[in-house]
Structure 1
Amino acid sequence: MNKDQKLHPLIEKFLKSKLYSKLFSMGWQLVHQSVIKDWVQQTRKPAYIPKGAKGFIFVDKHTLEVES
């Protein structure tokens, strides 16, 4: 992710949360929705959209491996 992009305050809060730590340790990653949203919808892969996360989606790393 581009360092110049300003994250939404709710996303920043989410990134510091216990839920994020737990999901991240389980191999989930936060990615921009535009990258993967359609694919997630088509395949019904597990995804979590953090509240207030405009444009961001949380997917497990297996999802990303298939995509890349």
Structure 2
Amino acid sequence: MTKEELKKVETYMRRVFSSPSISVRMRPRKTDSAEVYVGEEFIGILFKDDEDGDLSYNFSMAILEGDLE
């Protein structure tokens, strides 16, 4: 993912979730995904999917049971 793509997705996520503290960051040694943070807390992975000529980005967030308490 390019820096321009990361910035576009970051801007979109900040707007949709009404949170200016969301950041989308490159992953070391990975080019097809990025890490998503709220402040300094890691919250999930963003994957780029460009199969079949249709570009999309998929956000995956795991919520641990311990986090719900």
Q: Same fold (TM over 0.5)?
A: no
Which structure carries more relative contact order (alpha carbon 8 Å, separation 6+)? 1
Higher helix share: 1
Higher strand share: 2
Larger Rg: 2
